[in-house]
Structure 1
Amino acid sequence: MIIGLGNDLCDIARLERVLEQYGERFTYRCFTEIERNKSDRRRARAASYAKRFAAKEACAKALGTGLSHGVYWRDMGVVNLPSGKPTMQLTNGAQRMLHRLVPSGHVPHIHVSITDDYGMAQAFVIIEALPVDPGGPAA
C-alpha cells in the first residue's frame, strides 16, 4: 500500500548559482558524502545536484513532514543501485518518521524517479508499505 507520495521541481540554473556562491558550505550542509562524490564527478554537476535536491524535497513531502520535525537534508540521500536505479537511503530523523508511517507487519520500500530537462530537475518519491512474509525475509 502507498503511504507517502511527493514530487518536486528544481531550477538547475538557480542551484548552479547557489553552488557558485556557497560551494562546499552548501553541499556539505545538504548532501551526503555519496551524493557529493557522485555529483562532483559529473560533467553536468549542477543538474546532478538539482536532481538530488528535488528528490530530498519530494521525500520530505512523502514523509509528510517537510524539512521539520527532526528531518534534515542529510537524513535523506539518493543512492544508486548497481543497475543505476536511484533509491533513497534514510537516516536519523527521516528514518524515524518513515518507521512511524509504516503499519505493523509491514516494511517500507521507497521508489524514486529523477530526471532533468530544459533547465529543470524533477523527482518523484513513493513510499510503499509491503507486508512482511511470515515464512521468509521481507519483500
Structure 2
Amino acid sequence: MILGIGSDLANIDRIAATLEKFGDRFRNRVFTPQEQAKAEARREVAATYAKRWAAKEACSKALGTGLRMGISWKDMAVSNLITGQPVMAVTGWAAERLAAMTPPGHEAVIHVTLTDDHPWAQAFVVIEARARPPLAAPAEGG
C-alpha cells in the first residue's frame, strides 16, 4: 500500500547561485558528507546537488510534513546503489515519522527517482508499506 507520494522541481541555476553565495555553510546544513562527496566528484556539481535537494523536499512531502515539524535536511539522505539507482535513507525525526505512519506488520520502503534537464532537477518519492511475511511457527517435537 502507498503511504505517501512527494515530488519537487528545483532550479539548478538557483542551487548554483546558493552554492556560490553560501558555499560550505549551505552544503553542511543541507547535505550529508556522502552526498557532498558524490556531488563534488561529478561534472555537473550544481545539478547533482539540485537533484538531492529536490529529493529531500519530495521525501518530506511524502512523509506528510514538508520541511517542518522537526525534520532536518540531513535526516534524509540520497545515495546510489552500485547500479546507479538512487536510494533514500532516513534518520532522526524523519525515521520516527516513517515508523509512525507504517502500519503494524508492514515495513516501509522508500522509492526515489531523480532526473535533470538544465535548468531543472526533479525528484519523485513514493513510500510503500509492504506486508512482512508471517513468522514461521516453532517446530514441535522433541
Please say whether Structure 1 and Structure 2 have the same fold, judged by a TM-score greater than 0.5. Answer: yes
Q: Give the count of matched residue pairs.
A: 136
Runs of 4+ deviating beyond 3 Å: none
Question: Given the alignment of the two structures, is residue 41 of structure 1 paired with residue 49 of structure 2, yes or no?
Answer: no
Which residue is 1:7 aligned to? 7
- Partner SS for 1:23: helix
1: CA distance between counterparts of 2:81 and 2:105? 26
Q: Which structure is larger by alpha-carbon Rg, 1 or 2? A: 2
Task: Report what 2:74 is aligned to.
Answer: 74
Measure the CA separation in 2 of the matches of 1:31 and 1:109: 21
| Deviation, structure 1 residue 118 | 3.0
Could you tell me how far 1:135 is from its partner in structure 2? Answer: 4.2
For 2:16, the equivalent position in structure 1 comes to: 16
Gaps of 5+ in 1: none
Q: Which structure 2 residue ranges, 5 or more long, are not aligned?
A: 137-142
RMSD: 0.9
**Partners in 1 of 2:33 and 2:80 — Cα distance?**
13
Residues 68-100 of structure 1: per-residue CA shift (max 9 Å, x gap): 111110000001111110010000010000001
Separation in structure 1 between the aligned mates of residue 81 and residue 42 of structure 2, nearest angstrom: 17
Give the aligned partner of residue 57 of structure 1.
57
Work out the CA distance in 2 between the residues paired with 1:101 and 1:5. 13
TM-score (norm 2): 0.94
Distance 1:38 1:104 in 2: 36
Name the aligned partner's letter for residue 27 of structure 2: T
Q: Distance in 2 between matches of 1:97 and 1:81?
A: 24
Q: Is 2:97 the counterpart of 1:97? A: yes
Q: Give percent identity, aligned residues only.
A: 51
